[in-house]
Structure 1
Amino acid sequence: MSDERAEISRAGVDEAAFSGLVESHRRELHAHCYRILGSVDDADDALQETLVAAWRGLGGFAGRSSPRTWLYRIATTRCLNMLRTRSRRPQLAPVPPFTPPEPSGSFEASWLQPYPDALLDAVDPAARTLARESVELAFVAALQALPPRQAAALVLCDVLGFSLTETAEVLDTRATAVKGLLQRARAAVPVSRRTARDEACARTAQRFADAFARDDVEAMVALLTDSAWLAMPPAPQQYDGPEAIARFLRSSARGRPGGRYHLVPVRAGGSPAFACYLAGAARGLVVVLPADGGERITGLVRFLDDDLHRRFGLPDRIDAVLT
């Protein structure tokens, strides 16, 4: 009996052996579910369903593929089922305490959440850079606009390095079908490779945070590219271009109760981010998406979720951060 078959055989009768089998894949499976679903909350649910299904299905595992491929097949199926049935948590956009200006467009992925970098700390260091690039917010947001099977094929092949044959096994289809899915997905969403320098990104993000905290709209806008955009999930509004963003920021500053923000730096999907505290209480998160080179900002995502800071290990009150 091969080592893999013996491992599966032991896991089939021993919960501790099963835990050992899946533990080395748990973090990467969670990140995989996040890429397809775009939500950390939904990824939690999909991972839990994957582990339950794997435990129950051990008896039917024939060893024709590796445990890793088998687990990814279960996880991908669970994610696609969630998308097919649209079993997402309801996303209610908060009512702003001011009248916002007319948006430029709409942001469709209201369920989008940022992925805390800390969740990738257990990933193999050799693969960590790619893992962070593949949970970058702009990339994950673009995946949400693809048909689900195209998104899954792109992630499996171009992020995880599965062959066409392995991906066909995961998606329960033929390699020729995967090739077609992959071609269409690549045309719409090329997998990014960051060229910006981390130090430059950090400096630009800190300059933006300083200006944000003092409501210096001119200083914020000076850091934006001409094509910069601002989204605020779960709110549907999107503002495109520096002028539209400036109008929104000015309206927000005028209509905001409770004084100015205090920002605490974190990392989300390999990008600089800041947890926002207003009147001492947590009030969402801002993720800064740097342009190539790191000196300018191409996108801002302001998450209007007052519980999101807990994903980054931060307390509910700023007092606990400052002491």
Structure 2
Amino acid sequence: MGADTWTELGVSGMGEVDDAAFSGLAERHRRELHVHCYRMLGSFEAAEDTVQETFLRAWRRRETFEGRSTFRAWLYRIATNACLDLLAKCRPEPAAGGEVPWLQPYPDRLLDELPAGGADEPETVAVARETIELAYLIAVQHLAPRPRAVLILRDVLGWSAKDVAELLGDSVNSVNSALQRARAGMREHLPADRQDWTGGDQDAGTRELVRRYTEASVATDIDKLAALLRDDVRSSMPPTPGVYVGRDTVVNSWVEDGFADTEHLRAVGTSVNRQPAVAFYHWREKEGAYLPLTIDVLRITAGAITEIITFHDDQFPRLGLPERLPGDGTE
């Protein structure tokens, strides 16, 4: 952290910092730490809890901070270990078979809170590298916890092998070996066409495709929806078990679930994990309003939908979506 922070706080060491001053200093890094924990855990809620645990541990250990690294790096060390502790306790085994039941979406409006640093700022680069998109998160969750931590610290945040080894209590050789295994695992689980993803700002073609998907969904027009899907499209709905692969399989799952018979839908466009998303509402006569149903997060490649990850209505509040939509008299 260096002398600038001590001067700013008016103290000569962390041991002299009171609770309010420490909280103010730590809060500056809350969002980026939350994103880091989210990558590690795949769950927005678990990341929230882990950041709180990170701040508690940091406060209790504040006298151990000697300024040899930045305050940010010190917090990242604590946060990473808190994630590893949680994974050892609650999820000793990584995800398997392409399914991540605990996966939750991350609203873009919160990603926009990340510091607007330069191109060399770790978190700015990390988000620009598409390491927040859902397919990346799913692939990461298939790695064992420690190789997962190594991959995120080395390839996303740009830490040196020496610093990662110090954090994990391993040798540099061990860290390098774990990184090789993690990269191989990511290649196995990431889509082969990842370089062609539509990420960040959506171009006109993507917006048009999302518009057509939205209109066809509201009309429950299965044929029009099928025409927008790539042959190898994937569909899932965490935490509901099952991953459907292939256009025919996905469409058949919709038919079997009764989607074609659904009436009175409305939709609201949004963005999640730097991907286009569509929130659907279903008319409820008793409430006299459209209430949350599901939200589809889309991955688009070369003008076709290649993945649909659907989340339940419990995610609407976190994503800043309306609690209800009024009727328009046509229901």
Offset of residue 24 of structure 1: 2.5
Show CA shifts across 1:34-57 (max 9, x none): 001001011100111001111111
**Partner AA of 1:284 in structure 2:** T
Offset of residue 195 of structure 1: 4.9
For the residue of structure 1 that corresponds to 2:63, the secondary structure is: helix
Identity of aligned residues (%): 38
Offset of residue 319 of structure 1: 2.3
| Larger mean Cα displacement after TM superposition, 123-132 or 164-173 | 123-132
CA contact 2:15–2:63 (8 Å) conserved in 1: no
Which residue in the other structure is 1:290 paired with?
A: 300
Which residue in the other structure is 1:93 paired with?
A: none
Show CA shifts across 1:275-319 (max 9, x none): 22112111231101112x3x111110111x222011111232122
1:158-177 aligned at under 5 Å gives the runs 158-177=155-174
Task: Give the whole-Å Cα distance in 2 for the aligned partners of 1:129 and 1:155.
Answer: 13
| Larger mean Cα displacement after TM superposition, 169-178 or 193-202 | 193-202
Which residue in the other structure is 2:266 paired with?
A: 262
Q: Alpha carbons of 1:320 and 1:71: their partners in 2 closer, same or farther (altered >3 Å)?
A: farther
1:308 paired with 2:291, answer no
TM-score of the pair, normalised by structure 2: 0.83
Which residue in the other structure is 1:96 paired with?
A: none
1:120 paired with 2:116, answer no
- Out of 217, 236, 239, the residue aligned to residue 222 of structure 2 is 217
1:53-92 aligned at under 5 Å gives the runs 53-86=57-90
CA contact 2:198–2:299 (8 Å) conserved in 1: no
Task: Give the whole-Å Cα distance in 2 for the aligned partners of 1:193 and 1:17.
Answer: 44
Q: Which runs of 5+ in 1 are unaligned?
A: 89-104
Q: Which runs of 5+ in 2 are unaligned?
A: 284-289
For the residue of structure 1 that corresponds to 2:13, the secondary structure is: helix
1:157 paired with 2:154, answer yes
Which residue in the other structure is 2:135 paired with?
A: 138
Task: Give the whole-Å Cα distance in 2 for the aligned partners of 1:44 and 1:61.
Answer: 23
Task: Give the whole-Å Cα distance in 1 for the aligned partners of 2:67 and 2:216.
Answer: 57
Q: CA RMSD in A?
A: 2.7
Offset of residue 251 of structure 1: 2.2
**Partner AA of 1:135 in structure 2:** I
Task: Give the whole-Å Cα distance in 2 for the aligned partners of 1:39 and 1:256.
Answer: 32
Show CA shifts across 1:211-257 (max 9, x none): 11111112112122221110011111111100001101122335866
CA contact 1:168–1:178 (8 Å) conserved in 2: yes
User: Between Structure 1 and Structure 2, how many residues are aligned?
Assistant: 302
1:272 paired with 2:276, answer yes
Task: Give the whole-Å Cα distance in 1 for the aligned partners of 2:293 and 2:145.
Answer: 32
Q: Alpha carbons of 1:44 and 1:55: their partners in 2 closer, same or farther (altered >3 Å)?
A: same
Task: Give the whole-Å Cα distance in 1 for the aligned partners of 2:71 and 2:195.
Answer: 29
Task: Give the whole-Å Cα distance in 1 for the aligned partners of 2:110 and 2:219.
Answer: 31
Task: Give the whole-Å Cα distance in 1 for the aligned partners of 2:318 and 2:259.
Answer: 30
Which residue in the other structure is 1:196 paired with?
A: 198
For the residue of structure 1 that corresponds to 2:240, the secondary structure is: coil
CA contact 1:150–1:184 (8 Å) conserved in 2: yes
Task: Give the whole-Å Cα distance in 1 for the aligned partners of 2:167 and 2:195.
Answer: 25
1:234 paired with 2:234, answer no
Q: Alpha carbons of 1:195 and 1:144: their partners in 2 closer, same or farther (altered >3 Å)?
A: closer
Task: Give the whole-Å Cα distance in 2 for the aligned partners of 1:171 and 1:236.
Answer: 33
